[in-house]
Structure 1
């Protein structure tokens, strides 16, 4: 990290508004550095040693941000979209003003764990195909999911485009009953993230996913107390485990 950074970048990242809004704060002499009012929002400052205050409130600068979001259905995993509501639209200040992005994606109709951050290095490590970071999903599936499906998934499933997935672990929580129109409930752990992969894997064995929720990614598990649309910062322990980069085993 650079020793010094632009003041407006630090304030924007800390949730004090957009750069244009920060310029107005500076113009009103509401921003001080080491006790002196600042006239230039582009001033280079050191957030570790300089005391920055906005309207008398000390700025606590955090270099990077990590949010666990329980993504609801109906929003897309993107930073912006002209037609659809995105996961960033769920955020409130100070996080709404930060340059966060989702690590990977979940389909519009899929719920569950999504990491939002501005840490490009961590995102790359989690998404790199070479890392084989495990992702576990809870799903409800039409019809009976049984041991034959488990065997197919354990070997790897050939998708509609001919791609054969890596071995996946299928756990049957509740066996469905087609005669009663009762869906199966399962957990599936995969080691990659192809487009619509979970849904396509079940299509390959003649079944359909009716509900899908991601419950873990690597060491990070979805907080059961987060309702859809809610989020919180990662704990230091969660972050350290995630940075550890330990690959999950099936």
Structure 2
């Protein structure tokens, strides 16, 4: 195994970072300083040290996390709480989030120390589907749905979005669904919102532009007040996980992520 790959999978840091550590002489193999990231080592018998401490081989890890609203998808932040606040620091060195969810978006977030896994899921050419459940102020008629399905302009100097899938779940007036919609996101809405039309549904996209789901729905006249990612590829969020809880992916779930690729 390559030395940089070993260190990354042992949660010392991401592949790019550990290459720097190696080149700067911070790593020893069998008590000898090695400065070549591509150096081959035997993870079973060689003794690897980083800054004088023996590194144990942890292997690749894959977490499913049910992200709550109010946390940003980042390692650290001087102002906001982050998704890593839910994890024990000692076992998360080298682990990173796969893609991002907005601060007020809930749901399925994956974390790993496997860079190839991240690339395969996030690479635009792979067209991995991500499905979001939403509540929005507004309505979605047949023409609106067609625009979303065929591609729509969501920003100046941006190309059309790639074709999406839209499925309407419920629609009607806000007063009919007020007990199902999160009130905290409606604090800045006109006081007459009880008589506004609302719609819920599922939007499936294969891109990852900033605030893409919200911007796509805004482009057809809908203001998103609740958003939750429910699936990536063939992997569904485990709804038995409480918000803020996480667990390892099972082998079956791992395979579902890449079905059809």
TM-score interval for Structure 1 and Structure 2 normalised by the shorter chain: 0.7 to 0.9
CA positional deviation for 1:246: 2.5
- TM-score, length of structure 1 as denominator length: 0.74
Secondary structure, in 3 states, of the residue corresponding to 2:145?
Answer: helix
Aligned residue number for residue 99 of structure 2 = 104
- C-alpha distance in 2 between matches for 1:216 and 1:149: 23
CA positional deviation for 1:69: 0.5
- C-alpha distance in 2 between matches for 1:5 and 1:136: 32
- C-alpha distance in 1 between matches for 2:95 and 2:197: 40
Q: 1:49 to 1:4 in 2, by over 3 A?
A: farther
Aligned residues: 211
Please list the CA deviations of residues 86-112 of structure 1 after superposition, one character each: whole Å capped at 9, or x if unmatched.
21121126534x321111001001001
**RMSD value, Cα:** 3.0
Q: 1:6 to 1:113 in 2, by over 3 A?
A: closer
Aligned residue number for residue 207 of structure 1 = 222
Aligned residue number for residue 72 of structure 1 = 68
- Of residues 238, 241, 247 in structure 2, which corresponds to 1:223? 238
Long gaps (5+) in structure 1: 14-40, 52-58
- C-alpha distance in 2 between matches for 1:204 and 1:171: 17
- C-alpha distance in 1 between matches for 2:153 and 2:82: 32
Large movers: runs of 4+ above 6 Å: 3-7
CA positional deviation for 1:227: 1.3
Alignment of 1:1-250 (within 5 A): 1-2=1-2, 10=10, 44=30, 48=44, 61-92=57-88, 95-96=91-92, 98-161=93-156, 162-177=158-173, 180-181=195-196, 183-242=198-257, 244=258, 246-247=260-261
